[in-house]
Structure 1
Amino acid sequence: MPEVRVDDEFSTLRTVVLSRSELGLPETPPETWDTDFLGGDAAHAATPGADLDRDLPDFARVLRREREELGSLLVSHGVEVLFPRLLTDQEKAVSQGRGYANLFVRDPLITVGNLVIEGSLRFPYRRGEVLPLRDVLRERVDPAASVRVAVPVPEVPDPGDAILGSGPFLEGGDVLVLGRRVYVGTSGLATNAAGIAWLRKFLAPYGRVVEEVRLHPGMLHLDCALGLVREGLMIVCEEALLDGVPESLDSWDSIPVSFDQATALAANGLPLNPRTYVTDPEFEDVGERLEAFGVRVEYVDLRATRSLGGAFRCSTQPLARYG
């Protein structure tokens, strides 16, 4: 029987889902896309209705190569790597101009212990992003000693609604697990109060405590501002945390990064275990500081991936990470 269990952000990674590289952009004007949070050059994403494979094949090849290199590294460390299926033509067509994505597996799923939650994404083009993951859920999650639920489907927003409706929105990039404590970020760009309230009520019977972390409105997700490397060590952008570092983490050693570094995803690396961490060569300075704490650092260039707003944590969804 497959095992589903995620104890925290840094215990030994055993089974992970790795992202595909499919994206169809909305047919609305680019100025309506709400992409100010992107830290990289998003100029390639400026054509309404563009499909990566059809219209930007060279970029799509680079993107796939980055994920393949990350997958190879994971396998070399003994991690079982699973993949979502590709989007179907029907799934692309039903988007009706809103766009579609099969790009970052972190946000449409949330794994807390043996609880697997299908998220509810704020951006309309991402709201079907969980669908290619359903085969993995049926094959690996449902047979396990686990619970699978879904956040209620968000309401359809009125035309011109800047907040895109009342949700509830709950995205995996905003959720960090640390034993019984679950940190949930909210910036106005992704997870909202209704999503946090739903998660708090769902997790309470399982003994989990949800702690909201308010974020700078230019920070997409909590995992862009805060990375838990191992017990007692974190990477953090304090400028992005409106109320400062959570009190429960105040005694931890920290590797600070600037707001610009955070938006470029310097905190969005991936611990393979408490002794090994993966990041981008762009953040070699962060890697050197991690090594000073005795952490071995591996590097994979995810420049193209980062230009779309996500990096290592965004591209992976753990199903088994424990002791």
Structure 2
Amino acid sequence: MELHITDEISPLKAVVLGIATSNGPIPQPEDAYDPKSLQHILAGTYPEEADMVSQMEEVADVLKRYGVQVYRPEVLEDYNQIFARDISFVIDDKIIIANILPDRKREVEATEYVWITVDKSKRIILPDECHVEGGDVMPWGDYLLVGTYRGDDYPDYITARTNMAAVEALQELFPERKVVSFNLKKSNTDPLNSALHLDCCFQPLGRGKAIIHRDAFLEEEEYQWLIDHFGEKNCFHITKEEMAAMFSNVFSISPDVVISERNFTRLNDWLRSHGFTVEEVNYNEIAKQGGLLRCSTMPLIREAN
């Protein structure tokens, strides 16, 4: 397979979409990977497998309708395999296999049949000290936008998924790009005050637009860099409640077509008012696990600009 991903919006040709089949039992609170899951475990509202399977198939149907080749992970019994973006991601013609939480390494094996078709020189595994997940990494033209957490208490946060060692390694791996990192707010228990990944508080779109939540950024100048890059009038600002609901975690099929959750009325109306085609899907049960559309998709090929 010849990979090609240079941005977040070029017309999509091939993608890995996670799968919810045999998702496993409801986790114990102490086993929750993120504050959103924890919230729903404690409230007794953790999603049912049948609902998640149905919602993910809805997304698969939309992708196929647009002519996208959709790959799914091999099903592992009683194992959560929804968030395909966490375990690997593509930049240019390379696939980076993430150094993920140890409990989730089997997820990588379940997509091996896809990435094994990529030339071995294009398959990258970063050094062990580099922690990175695909939700924090966004190719964007000449830039590589990367979410991170720089605090000395990084090991204390299960929500801190990408460290500065990985940021530096990505800069070495892609010297022709300028890597811009963003220090993100983290919490293990409060979804209103935690950005699990960069795509949980920011998303670049076609037509020069972007979605962003200001308070997720710990450094004002880094937030301002994004505002200056896209332009204030082109940014859709979301509240902390909308961030926790995953408003920024939509997914672009092309510069003009966005898949979004149907309950995101304020966002979807704004998108349509700016000329986007919005493919609305039911994905509210997936959101209960702290991710949404971008988190569950891992693009392999987008058309060249």
TM-score, normalising length: structure 2: 0.84
The CA distance in 2 between the partners of 1:45 and 1:24, in whole Å, is 16
* Greater share of helix: 2
Aligned-residue offset at 1:101: 3.5
1:133 is matched with which residue?
111
Contact map agreement 2:35 2:290 (CA 8 A) in 1 = no
Say whether residues 1:178 and 2:178 are aligned partners. no
Cα distance, 1:83–1:128 mapped onto 2, change above 3 Å = same
Cα distance, 1:84–1:34 mapped onto 2, change above 3 Å = closer
1:56-67 paired onto structure 2 within 5 Å: 59-67=48-56
SS in 1 for 2:51: helix
Contact map agreement 1:11 1:274 (CA 8 A) in 2 = yes
Match among 187, 199, 216 for residue 223 of structure 1? 199
Say whether residues 1:292 and 2:267 are aligned partners. no
Aligned-residue offset at 1:40: 6.4
Match among 75, 79, 83 for residue 72 of structure 2? 83
Aligned-residue offset at 1:126: 1.9
Match among 196, 208, 215 for residue 239 of structure 1? 215
Contact map agreement 2:36 2:289 (CA 8 A) in 1 = no
The CA distance in 1 between the partners of 2:163 and 2:181, in whole Å, is 10
Identity of aligned pairs, percent?
Answer: 28
1:161 is matched with which residue?
none
The CA distance in 2 between the partners of 1:44 and 1:138, in whole Å, is 41
CA deviations on 1:28-57 (whole Å, 9 max, x unpaired) are: x624645325496334889xxxxxxxxx9x
Q: Which amino acid aligns with 2:103?
A: Y
1:319 is matched with which residue?
300
Q: Which amino acid aligns with 2:245?
A: A
Q: Which amino acid aligns with 1:226?
A: F
1:194-205 paired onto structure 2 within 5 Å: 194-204=165-175
Say whether residues 1:9 and 2:8 are aligned partners. yes
Say whether residues 1:193 and 2:174 are aligned partners. no
Question: C-alpha root-mean-square deviation of aligned residues, in Å?
Answer: 2.5
Match among 126, 143, 151 for residue 126 of structure 2? 151
SS in 2 for 1:282: coil
Cα distance, 1:229–1:134 mapped onto 2, change above 3 Å = same
Contact map agreement 1:38 1:308 (CA 8 A) in 2 = yes
Aligned-residue offset at 1:303: 1.2
Match among 87, 93, 109 for residue 114 of structure 1? 93
2:157 is matched with which residue?
none
The CA distance in 1 between the partners of 2:294 and 2:185, in whole Å, is 20
SS in 2 for 1:223: helix
Say whether residues 1:104 and 2:83 are aligned partners. yes
Aligned-residue offset at 1:124: 3.1
Cα distance, 1:111–1:231 mapped onto 2, change above 3 Å = farther
Contact map agreement 2:82 2:296 (CA 8 A) in 1 = yes
Aligned-residue offset at 1:15: 0.7
SS in 2 for 1:169: coil
Cα distance, 1:148–1:32 mapped onto 2, change above 3 Å = closer
Paired positions, count:
282
Match among 275, 280, 283 for residue 261 of structure 2? 280
Q: Which amino acid aligns with 1:180?
A: D
Contact map agreement 2:29 2:41 (CA 8 A) in 1 = no
Aligned-residue offset at 1:235: 0.6
Q: Where does the alignment leave 5 or more consecutive residues of structure 2 unmatched?
A: 155-159, 187-193
CA deviations on 1:127-170 (whole Å, 9 max, x unpaired) are: 3321111111123x238xx71111234xxxxxxxxxxxxx4211
The CA distance in 1 between the partners of 2:102 and 2:26, in whole Å, is 9
1:268 is matched with which residue?
249
Q: Which amino acid aligns with 1:41?
A: H
